[in-house]
Structure 1
Amino acid sequence: MAVHTLTINDQLISARAGETILDAARDAGIHIPTLCHLEGVSDVGACRLCLVEIDGSNKLQPACVTEAAEGMVVHTHTEKLADYRRITVELLFAEGNHVCAVCVANDHCELQDMAVEVGMDHVRFPYQHPEREVDISHPQFGIDHNRCILCTRCVRVCDEIEGAHVWDVANRGSDTKIISGLNQSWGEVEACTSCGKCVDACPTGSIFHKGATVGSKQGDRQKLEFLINARTKGEWTR
């Protein structure tokens, strides 16, 4: 297998052919912030928090979908990137209706954690206050579109791991939303297996167990990792 040598933050590292900058950085113990990335499913570069600077390129590139190349010189934590990441998180809060104090994922929320990581202590942009619905038609779960950040982790987990493809993305711009089935209520979608993988994959309190109270949602990432590894390596239990 071909191996590329590149430099990330002045550190010379190796990357296997086909690996992304994010893969190579994590293998070398270099942290790059992400929200839409989920180990074991495809990457889509939705959240833009993993943007990095590459010498010779006049554009910032998403590390999760940019392949590492021979001789590449990458910078993951510059002042410019810090500003971009803080702005991105502020826009996520301004675009939705994130009231952390009454959220099921309060203190267990990756968006909250990211706000702390990038140093966001206030939002400088006007809040949009969109009118979004909550769907609790499913007997076990609910989805609050007010808290959705459109990371599409639920879409990819349901499609690539469970194989049900209950979720998808509809509309454009500020009207973009996650839909179940052909824009049916979640409880009406016969393809749903009620596995709960989308609940575990959701980084916020958008998809939750019905009956959950404030701060009680904790995703079971170990279950997802087990299923992903079992599928990849063919290590299924009987």
Structure 2
Amino acid sequence: MTIQILTLTIDNKQVSGLASETVLQVACENDIAIPTLCYLEGLSSHGSCRLCMVEIKGSAKLHPACVTLIQEGMEVTTQSERLLHYRRSIIQLLFSERNHVCAVCVSNGHCELQDLARDLGVNHIDFPYLYPALSVDASHSRFVLDHNRCVLCTRCVRVCSEIEGAHTWDVKNRGIRSLIVADFDTPWGTSETCTGCGKCVHVCPTGALSEKGKSVAEMLKKRPFLPYLMANRAQEHR
């Protein structure tokens, strides 16, 4: 099998990567930071959060770096006023669509949404808050699902399907009415497919999925298992 190496430019820096790699992967390999919320190494790329949008010379539209394959001679810009405005708007919309009250969240200080808001300079919200009446599912013996803090990144859906193989989680409804549900919208605690592994909890970027017994700022996520498990699964299928 022929390995094809392509050369491109990211932020005026000449880099190279495999033809099968995305702009985000090559950027990460070269210590070029691109913000993202739905992407997580070890899981399939979904392109749902749109925070990793970049500019590509010759194209008027923005492109999601996590699902855009590199091309020979491609010229990519990851930081610009246009991109900063776009990313700040996305963060603001995420905060306004749900009930993110950081001061009382178990993931306060350990939240990727919170970190992105700080890094992008989002210190206020320009959009009206929707204050949806969303439920909290504490029916599981060990874990809690709080829809108020969910950003619909679907990391939990993908890790449950791709890594654990349980296929417990899915998404119902569309748009801002979308909700993460277990087993065709049944209480998590009654799920017949959930193995209780906790992988979904530890890939969640916010406090939407947490362990019971955790107080404010006590929920730390553990993610190093993902690349390890993916490597083992790939080895098994050879």
| TM norm structure 2 | 0.96
Q: What one-letter code is carried by the residue in structure 1 that aligns with 2:132?
A: P
Q: What one-letter code is carried by the residue in structure 2 that aligns with 1:7?
A: T
Note the C-alpha offset of 1:212. Answer: 1.1
Task: Select 2:135's aligned residue among 107, 124, 133.
Answer: 133
Task: Select 1:157's aligned residue among 159, 162, 167.
Answer: 159
Q: Which position in structure 1 is the counterpart of 2:6?
A: 4
8 Å CA contact 1:200–1:224 kept in 2: the answer is no
Q: Which position in structure 2 is the counterpart of 1:215?
A: 217
Q: Which position in structure 1 is the counterpart of 2:19?
A: 17
Superposed CA deviations along residues 156-208 of structure 1, whole A, max 9, x for unmatched, are 00000000011011101221111111111101111000000001000000001
Q: Which position in structure 2 is the counterpart of 1:185?
A: 187
Instruction: Map 1:83-122; keep pairs closer than 5 Å.
Output: 83-122=85-124
1:205 aligns with 2:171: no
Note the C-alpha offset of 1:117. Answer: 0.8
Note the C-alpha offset of 1:140. Answer: 0.7
Paired positions, count: 235
8 Å CA contact 2:41–2:226 kept in 1: the answer is no
Q: Which position in structure 2 is the counterpart of 1:65?
A: 67
Write the distance in 2 (CA, Å) between the matches of 1:142 and 1:150.
16
Write the distance in 1 (CA, Å) between the matches of 2:226 and 2:214.
20
1:49 aligns with 2:51: yes
Write the distance in 2 (CA, Å) between the matches of 1:210 and 1:223.
21
Task: Select 1:175's aligned residue among 174, 177, 180.
Answer: 177
% of aligned pairs identical? 54
Write the distance in 2 (CA, Å) between the matches of 1:216 and 1:232.
34
Write the distance in 2 (CA, Å) between the matches of 1:136 and 1:73.
48
State the SS of the aligned residue for 2:224.
helix
Note the C-alpha offset of 1:233. Answer: 4.0
Write the distance in 2 (CA, Å) between the matches of 1:226 and 1:12.
30
State the SS of the aligned residue for 2:144.
strand
Bigger drift between 171-180 and 109-118 goes to 171-180
Task: Select 2:145's aligned residue among 133, 137, 143.
Answer: 143
Instruction: Give unmatched runs, 5+ long, in structure 1.
Output: none
Write the distance in 2 (CA, Å) between the matches of 1:226 and 1:158.
15
State the SS of the aligned residue for 2:28.
helix
Write the distance in 2 (CA, Å) between the matches of 1:233 and 1:130.
45
Bigger drift between 179-188 and 222-231 goes to 222-231
